[in-house]
């Protein structure tokens, strides 16, 4: 049973760009979401990420202009009343990442990629736990990192690769399956429904 419900969560999660702005995410639920991220795999178990929760109205208003939504469409910026009710900022601790250099016999290739892979694992856990809690999310990589750093006084030892926007969803995107070799896209259809194309899974056995 758990396998099926986990699969439902992992395949049913979609990025959401319209939220019930006035419906706050309870603190204990936020705690579970961040804990799921913190317990993700990380290279050499360095756990190089700290988490900042943007919860106050003033802070949410400050971060909002520093994010870009579905950048290739240009008009997906959430409207007032439909904005996220919470933002989580994963902070990558450069000092912890640097400890990878001290690991004996580490593969050079892993050294270059490890922190981004660890970030991906943590962020995937975070958005999937959010979805399991009935909360929509959008990973926003198109951010003004410098402006966020200045506005929130974030220490230089941290890099800010992305921000995760969260809130109870006001929309239910639908999936459109496309052949494995056609480039997938996303769009809003004539009825205003957000459509996400996913490539049909092809498993090549060798
Ligand atoms: C690293 C990364 C960066 C992303 N950056 C943005 C972004 O800046 N703005 C945005 O609206 N969506 C962003 N997304 C969300 C993607 O557009 C979304 O995951 C993709 O369209 C697939 O849709 P799905 O998440 O519903 O499966 C990002 C996703 C990832 C993994």
Look up the CATH number of the domain holding residue 180: 2.20.180
Ligand 1, atom 18: closest residue by C-alpha? 15
Question: 96 and 112 share a domain?
Answer: yes
Find the domain containing 94 and state its range: 2-172
Question: 139 and 204 share a domain?
Answer: no
- Across 28-97, where does the E strand assignment appear? 49-54, 86-93
* Domain count along the chain: 2
**Residue 77 token pair:** 């910026």
Q: Largest alpha-carbon pair distance within the chain?
A: 57
How far is Cα 142 from Cα 2, in angstroms, rounded to an integer?
35
Residue from 126, 135, 139 to probe ligand 1 pocket by mutation (most atoms less than 8 Å from CB): 139
pTM of the complete model: 0.96
Task: pLDDT band for 7, please (50, 70, 90 cuts).
Answer: very high
Separation of CA 103 and ligand 1 centre (Å)? 33
What atom of ligand 1 comes closest to residue 196's alpha carbon? 23
Question: 120 and 144 share a domain?
Answer: yes
37-92 pLDDT tens trace: 999 999 999 999 999 999 999 999 999 999 998 766 667 889 999 999 999 999 99
Separation of CA 57 and ligand 1 centre (Å)? 24
Question: 109 and 43 share a domain?
Answer: yes
Radius of gyration in angstroms for the set of CA atoms belonging to the chain, rounded to a whole number:
18
Separation of CA 139 and ligand 1 centre (Å)? 5
Question: 79 and 132 share a domain?
Answer: yes
Is the shortest distance between the CB of 138 and ligand 1 below 6 Å? yes
Ligand 1, atom 30: closest residue by C-alpha? 139
What atom of ligand 1 comes closest to residue 70's alpha carbon? 11
The answer to whether 93 touches 52, Cβ cutoff 8 Å, is: no
Supply the mean pLDDT for the chain.
Answer: 94
The answer to whether 141 touches 162, Cβ cutoff 8 Å, is: yes
Question: 87 and 144 share a domain?
Answer: yes
């Amino acid at each position: 049973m758990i396998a099926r419900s986990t699969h439902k969560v992992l395949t049913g999660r979609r990025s959401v760009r319209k939220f019930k702005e006035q419906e706050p995410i309870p603190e204990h639920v936020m705690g579970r979401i961040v804990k799921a991220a913190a317990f993700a795999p990380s290279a050499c178990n360095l756990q190089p990420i700290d988490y900042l929760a943007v919860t106050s109205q003033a802070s949410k208003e400050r971060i909002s202009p520093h994010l870009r939504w579905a950048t290739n469409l240009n008009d997906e910026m959430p409207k007032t009343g439909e904005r996220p009710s919470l933002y989580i900022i994963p902070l990558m601790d450069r000092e912890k990442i640097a400890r990878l250099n001290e690991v004996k016999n580490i593969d050079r290739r892993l050294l270059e990629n490890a922190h981004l892979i660890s970030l991906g694992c943590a962020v995937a856990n975070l958005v999937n736990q959010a979805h399991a809690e009935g909360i929509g999310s959008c990973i926003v990589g198109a951010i003004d990192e410098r402006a966020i750093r200045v506005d929130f006084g974030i220490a230089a030892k941290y890099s800010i690769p992305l921000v995760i926007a969260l809130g109870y969803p006001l929309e239910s995107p639908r999936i459109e399956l496309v052949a494995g070799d056609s480039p997938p896209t996303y769009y809003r259809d004539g009825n205003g429904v957000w459509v996400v194309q996913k490539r049909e899974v092809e498993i090549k056995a060798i």
